[in-house]
Amino acid sequence: MIQSDLELYAKSLNARVKVEDELWKVAIGDAPLPTKEKCREWAQRLGIPEDMLAKFKELFGDKYG
């Protein structure tokens, strides 16, 4: 795996870790329930940006769209 692939995976994982942390805070009562705007923000953060999608398609084929 080359450096750019690792950076791509790190970027993707980092976005998911941030959302997971926020969801855990809600689950244990340390944060209020999210608004619809916050849910939309999380969904966008969890989505696969176009640059990542192109690389995922290259590496894994049609599995990612």
State pLDDT tens for residues 6-42: 887 787 788 888 899 999 999 999 999 999 999 988 8
Name every residue whose Cβ is closer than 8 Å to that of residue 11 and which is 6 or more positions away in sequence.
52
Domain containing 17 equals: 3-64
- Structural domains counted in the chain: 1
The pLDDT tens digits for 35-54 are 999 998 888 788 766 777 67
Instruction: Assign 65 a pLDDT band (cuts: 50, 70, 90).
Output: very low
In which band, very low, low, confident or very high, does the pLDDT at 60 lie, cut at 50, 70 and 90?
A: confident
